[in-house]
Amino acid sequence: MLIQKLSRISLIRSPTKFSGIHRSSVGLATKCCSKESRRSLSSNHWAQFEMAPVDPIVGLNEIFQKDDYPSKVIVGVGAYRDDVGKPYVLPCVREAEKKMMDRKLDMEYSGIAGDPKFVDLALKFVYGNDSIPILENRVQGTQALSGTGGLRVFGELMRKHGHKHIYVPNPTWGNHIPIFTNSGLEVRKYRYYDSEKSDLDFLGLIDDIKSMPAGSIILLHACAHNPTGMDPSMEQWKEMSETIKKHNILPFFDCAYQGFASGDPIKDAAAVRMFVEDGHLISMVQSFSKNFGLYGQRIGALSVVGRDEDEAKRVVSQMKTVIRPMYSNPPRQGARIVTTILEDPRLTQDFLDQCKGMANRITLMRTLLKDKLAEVGSTKNWEHITKQIGMFAYSGLSSDQVMEMRENHHVYCTADGRISMAGVTSGNVDYIANAIHDVSK
């Protein structure tokens, strides 16, 4: 026993000898284990990763591409197509690109908030040149990575400043929910659409607003509600404005279709401008993907209306603290294209005419689809197709009917029955109408 104690003491008092033994034998074992661990990590590092589900909207195109049926049709993805189903670049955008090339612009970084000239023109485009808050410099903003990037910045900004939740319409654009969830906000829903009647559930909407806790954020689609295409009337917007103000709710507008919905950007911004005139200190995200056809440029703006210029600038300074570690600064090309168009009166008018042309084609396709459904023998009421507005028509088809239409007719739309009217053309409208009738009769 004594010898064992002395042995332990000698080991403790002889660090050199012990350390030598440790480094030579234990170290060798560690080296071997380390080698085995590295081999294990090398072979299994990604093993726990499962295949993610296909995105319900963007992934639809991947499924469509794998279908080799010659008459297949996709009416799911939210991008404008001309009447032969091809992507469309606005002529005014092409002209703006040529002007930019002639100026031999540099490729330096933008500031954190993006191109100041673009931001100024973007805000005047939606709020109006004669907007009192614009004239008083109470509207301030930043460039954003289209609508999606602006939504994420806003969600994180509000979460960092004490907000816990946001209310979104039911239904809403599918990406709204994961964007706000990933921002750290709890997503709550308010009633918006009555699927039984294929109409706005206005009474439910108002009742739900009244029950929201004071200080809550409410997401509002400025125009061309996605996915339903069912917008409130101006009288209904007025009641919503009064109710939201009375209950001290913060309105956050998602404005993705200004000019593209009705063909008139002033009309499409009417709800936003009404809320501002009613005294709301709103926040808003804008996208220029649809109306300018700049899908791949990722160009948008995020803005707030403050009580005074200083307040609005303070909010924007906090936006920049979110942007800097997220993506540092936005790309320049899309901002330059929009700026080149909106600062030139002739190009601006060209844009208005061309944007109206896109909106008119979609309106025509709505009428044709409804008429063709009647022609093929459908006895269902399809009035909601022409009552709705914008790129999407909420058909009322169930998910089972959508899958049946996909399998039997190779017509692809999202599982909720949302049809992108931009994918409907004079050449395929008969085929689509027959497919819809076959699965819904």
Q: Both tokens of residue 374?
A: 């009647």
In angstroms, the CA 126 to CA 131 distance is 10
**CB neighbourhood size of 291 (10 A):** 27
Residue 128: left (phi > 0), alpha (psi -120 to 50), or beta? Answer: left
SS3 of residue 149 by DSSP: helix
DSSP string, 172-239: --TTHHHHHHHTTPEEEEEE-EETTTTEE-HHHHHHHHHTSPTT-EEEEESSS-TTT--PPPHHHHHH
Q: Which of 254, 268, 350, 416 is the catalytic position? A: 254
290 catalytic residue (yes or no):
yes
254 catalytic residue (yes or no):
yes
Q: Both tokens of residue 359?
A: 């909106």
Angstrom CA distances, 227 to 92, 197, 259, 347, stand at 28, 16, 17, 31
Q: Which of 208, 231, 290, 416 is the catalytic position? A: 290
173 catalytic residue (yes or no):
yes
DSSP string, 17-77: HHHHHIIIIIHHHHHHHHHHHHHHHHHHTTTTPPPPPPPTTHHHHHHHHH---TT-EE--S
**Torsion angle of C-alpha atoms 38, 41, 42, 45, degrees rounded to 10:** -160
Is residue 378 within 8 Å of residue 440, measured between CB atoms?
yes
State the catalytic residues.
173, 254, 290
